[in-house]
Amino acid sequence: MRAAPGMLYDAEITSHLFEHARDIVLVIDASTGAILDANRAAEQAYSWSRDELRARTIFDLRESPPHSVSEQMRQASATGILFETIHRRSDGTTFPVEVSSRGEIISGRRALLSVVRDITERKLFETEREELLLATQRALAMRDEFLVIASHELRAPVTNISLQLQHLSRLIDRGTVRAALRVVGEAVHGEARRLAALIDSLLDAQAVKGQLVLDRTDVELSTVVADVVDRLRARAEQAGSELVIEVPEIHGRWDRMRIDQVLSNLVGNAIKYGRGRPVRVVAGIDGPHASIEIADEGIGVSQDDIDRIFGKFERAVPSQYGGLGLGLFIARQIVEAHDGLIHVHSVPGIGSTFRVVLPRV
| 248 contacts 283 by C-beta, under 8 angstroms | yes
Binding status of residue 241 toward ligand ADP by CB under 6 A: no
Q: Binding to ligand ADP by residue 309, rule CB under 6 A?
A: yes
Piece of the chain touching ligand ADP by CB under 6 A; list 82-90, 205-213, 233-241, 312-320: 312-320
Restricting to residues 261-280, which ones interact with ligand ADP according to CB under 6 A?
A: 265, 269-270, 273
Whether residue 51 contacts residue 37, with contact meaning beta carbons closer than 8 Å, is answered with no
Q: Is residue 326 involved in binding ligand ADP (CB under 6 A)?
A: yes
* Gap between the Cα atoms of 262 and 267, Å rounded: 9
Q: Which helix (H) or strand (E) holds 304?
A: none
Cβ count within 10 A of residue 96: 17
| Smallest separation, CB 201 to ligand ADP (Å) | 8
Q: Does 296 bind ligand ADP (CB under 6 A)?
A: yes
46 contacts ligand ADP (rule: CB under 6 A)? no
Contact between 352 and ligand ADP by CB under 6 A: the answer reads yes
CB atoms within 10 A of CB 281: 21
**Residue 297, interface with ligand ADP (CB under 6 A)?**
no
Q: Is 315 near ligand ADP (CB under 6 A)?
A: yes
Q: What is the DSSP string of 8-43?
A: S-HHHHHHHHHHH-SSEEEEEETTT-BEEEE-HHHH
Size of the site for ligand ADP (CB under 6 A): 22
Q: Select from 46-54, 190-198, 226-234, 318-326 the region that touches ligand ADP (CB under 6 A).
A: 318-326
Touching ligand ADP, residues 96-115 (CB under 6 A): none
Out of 300, 333, 335, 338, which residue is the one contacting ligand ADP (CB under 6 A)? 300
Q: Taking contact as CB under 6 A, which single stretch among the options 22-30, 64-72, 119-127, 315-323 is the one that binds ligand ADP?
A: 315-323
- What is the C-alpha to C-alpha distance for residues 341 and 355, in angstroms, rounded to an integer? 8
Dihedral sign (CA 192, 197, 203, 205) = negative
Candidates 28, 219, 316, 334; binder of ligand ADP (CB under 6 A) is 316
CA distance 358 to 263: 13
Residue 154 or 171: the one with the smaller Cβ distance to ligand ADP is: 154
Provide DSSP, 309-353. GGSTT---S-TTS---S-HHHHHHHHHHHTT-EEEEEEETTTEEE
Residues in the site for ligand ADP, rule: CB under 6 A?
A: 265, 269-270, 273, 296, 298-301, 309, 314-317, 323-329, 352
